[in-house]
Amino acid sequence: MADADIPEMNRDTWTERSEHEMGFWNSWVASEGMKWKEGYQRKTDPNATLAPMVENFLPTIGFAPGAHVKILDIGSGPLSWIGTKSDNYTIDLTAVDPLADQYNAMLDRKGVSGVGRPVKGFFEDALWQLGANQYDIVWSANSLDHSIDPVLGLFNIINVCKIGGGVILMFHPNEAEGEDYNGLHQWNLDVIDGALILHQKGRKFSLMPLIENQSNVSVQRIGNSDKDKAKIVVKFKKTQDANISQAVMR
């Protein structure tokens, strides 16, 4: 494959591509969800209950009822979907997104208030910006594959999570190919033979060396429905920090 076929991946080109993303979310905020009205209502509800995927995951990795749980939603978009109200846990939620400044301006124009707002931050900067071993749960939905460098992004996701905490990743398989490599859709994630694979225009890399030494590792594809596209869900309990060098030396 000619080098010209491989997209340039740096912060400047990412920023240029983000115009498409901002256009989508501006319409989403202005129209109160476009065709996804329920999602808008949930994200703007200060009493939204904790997402079942998180609520049900916590006891499986050792969080007892009554625990205070510090959650990071990285790549959150304008508003987090996770929710904070739980009968079993006290939730402290932080949302981070590279386009937070632009999203907050959209929310201000719409008059959205009473819910947590994202702060600006890139996947690639998360470890030094947020610190190591800081969060009980790190959640990323439909965003790691929109980043500049997903391998570094996953490394940082793991390492900002506390030992004994958990990571939940969710995304649509092969999104870049499905979107014809438009906008921020430059990376594909898929499950092949039970392994999480990153690929781009014929090149591929297994992300499993970054996560296979954690515990309770689950990598699965959830099938299509009438309302939702197929999803890949990755969950694991962190038992050790990740090491990029060991991941690539295979």
Residue 236 has pLDDT above 90, yes or no: yes
Q: What is the pLDDT of residue 76?
A: 98
| Tokens (6 digits) for 58 | 């916590």
Mean local confidence (pLDDT), 99-124: 97
pLDDT band at residue 2 using 50, 70 and 90 as cut-offs: very low
Domains in the chain: boundaries: 3-248
Q: What is the pLDDT of residue 249?
A: 87
Q: What is the pLDDT of residue 222?
A: 85
Query: How far apart (Å, rounded) are the C-alpha atoms in residues 207 and 190?
Result: 10
CATH, range 3-248: 3.40.50.150
Q: Are 210 and 234 in contact (CB under 8 A)?
A: no
Per-residue pLDDT tens digits for 162-208: 999 999 999 999 999 999 999 999 999 999 999 999 999 999 999 99
Write the DSSP string, 24-87. Answer: HHHHHHHTTSTT-HHHHHHHT-TTPBPPHHHHHHGGGGTPPTT-EEEEEEET--SS-SS--B-S
Distances 117 to 22, 31, 101, 211 between C-alpha atoms, Å: 16, 19, 10, 30
| Tokens (6 digits) for 53 | 């995927």
Per-residue pLDDT tens digits for 24-53: 999 999 999 999 999 999 999 999 999 999
Q: What is the pLDDT of residue 4?
A: 56
Residue 85, beta-bridge partner list: 49
Q: What is the pLDDT of residue 225?
A: 56
Residues in Cβ contact with 209 at an 8 Å cutoff, skipping those fewer than 6 apart: 246, 247, 248, 250
